[in-house]
Amino acid sequence: VNYRLGFCFIVTHKCLLKSLTQIVWNFICQIIALYFSNNVNIVRSFIGTFLFLSGINRLVENSAAMEPISVDDYRHSEYPKSVRNVLEFLEQTEPLASRNDILIAIVYILMLESEFTPTKYKDDTSNANFNFRRHLELSKKLPDGWKKNGTYNLSFTYGEFVENECAIVCFKSHEDLVVNCSIKGLENGFTVYLDTLTYFQSSNVNISNVKLQNLCGLSLKVKEHLCYPVKQAILRQNGCVQQCLDFLPDELIMYITNFLKTSDFINFGMTSVRYYKIMKTPLLWYRRIMNDCNEAYDPRWQMLQYNDLIKIYQRKQFLLKCKKDVMHNRANYPNVNVLRSLYYFNDYQNI
């Protein structure tokens, strides 16, 4: 056991692990030759230690072999293979690539991850599901004409809906990069603004050794405001209904949220812009105050904003908890009447 504890402290350093196991193996061979006839228990202990280290070695190697697949998986480690592919393409074709060039390349990768395919790409299947082989193949280069006269142009199709071509036009606006997407056959477009300085560790960009950061935030922003809404708009245009909340009307979603706990309801509102607006609906908080806090409707609630309604709800919940505690153990709350009066007095005074 002592040997194992000593080796466990070193095993976290992968660079020493292989040489360490080799030394242990040689040492075991010597021990076997010298002490096999005298002390079998020592030999068994060293063999068990070696097997233990071998298992840890394989575990570390397998963990290191796992690399991020999508941009969402990037956490200050190695870039996903698709990102490395497109950066290598820029290094070969655009040696002086700017921050905007690199961000456009990342947007291109995010569109591929969202199951879009370039317009001129010919595949033997019209399946829009994510195909990792196809994804890596397309990430090796940007489409022809992606950069021209200071603007960037990309075009995609989604699945079998080739008539709804998505045209992405990007241009610089001060320090921001404006990414605009229009869909053929639809009037509404989608736009997302990207702060170019947010996603680079240094203002000086060298494509051969570029240092990116916050790629997960970039992925979530582009997919929430561009990729996913475009996909849903195409499906709605073609009468394809998916089994998800996004295809339900707001009234039905509000009804469903009545069955959620308040903490879950708040977390639900943080998942998208649409659900956040639903979470801020005053009527939903009126109902929660009345149902969860056993309170009657107060007309003064109509004068309050969303944050104020949350404060009212929290205070009512606190008072309700105090009442329940008093009923169970009145001796621990000698001044509960004073606490209750102060609670009611401050309900609207501090708002």
Residue with tokens 């919940």: 317
110, pLDDT greater than 90: yes
SS3 of 237-264: HCCCCCCCHHHCCHHHHHHHHCCCCHHH
Residue 70 vs residues 30, 74, 180, 190, 220: alpha-carbon distances, Å = 48, 7, 23, 23, 12
DSSP-derived secondary structure letter, 212: B
Please tell me the pTM assigned to this model: 0.58
Dihedral angle computed from the Cα positions of residues 243, 246, 249 and 255, in that order, rounded to the nearest 10 degrees? 80
Residues 177, 197 contacting (CB under 8 angstroms): no
142, pLDDT greater than 90: yes
Mean pLDDT for the stretch of residues 19-37: 57
| Confidence at residue 22, expressed as pLDDT on a 0 to 100 scale | 60
- CATH code of the region 250-345: 1.20.1280
Side chain identity, residue 138: L
How would residue 301 be classed by pLDDT, with cut points 50, 70 and 90? confident
Residues 171, 179 contacting (CB under 8 angstroms): no
Residue with tokens 């394989």: 58
Mean pLDDT for the stretch of residues 181-186: 91
Contacts of 139 (CB under 8 A, 6+ apart): 81, 82, 83, 85, 86, 109, 112
What whole-number distance in Å separates Cα of residue 222 and Cα of residue 227? 6
* Structure-block tokens of residue 246: 């996004």
How would residue 331 be classed by pLDDT, with cut points 50, 70 and 90? low
Q: Residue ranges of the domains in the chain?
A: 2-65, 71-237, 250-345
DSSP of 180-220: EEEETT-S-EEEEEEEGGGGBS-SS--GGG--B--HHHHHH
Query: Which of 117-121, 124-128, 328-332 bottoms out in mean pLDDT, i.e. has the lowest?
Result: 124-128
277-287 per-position pLDDT tens digit: 888 888 888 88
Mean pLDDT for the stretch of residues 152-171: 92
* Topology match between the domains 71-237 and 250-345: no
Residues 189, 183 contacting (CB under 8 angstroms): yes
* Structure-block tokens of residue 211: 């240092």
- CATH code of the region 71-237: 3.40.1000.30
Mean pLDDT for the stretch of residues 318-331: 71
| Confidence at residue 141, expressed as pLDDT on a 0 to 100 scale | 92
What whole-number distance in Å separates Cα of residue 199 and Cα of residue 204? 12
What whole-number distance in Å separates Cα of residue 237 and Cα of residue 191? 19
What whole-number distance in Å separates Cα of residue 267 and Cα of residue 276? 9
Query: Which of 19-33, 52-66, 208-222, 301-315 bottoms out in mean pLDDT, i.e. has the lowest?
Result: 52-66
Mean pLDDT of the chain: 76
86, pLDDT greater than 90: yes
102, pLDDT greater than 80: yes
The most confident of the ranges 91-105, 112-126, 230-244, 291-305 is 91-105
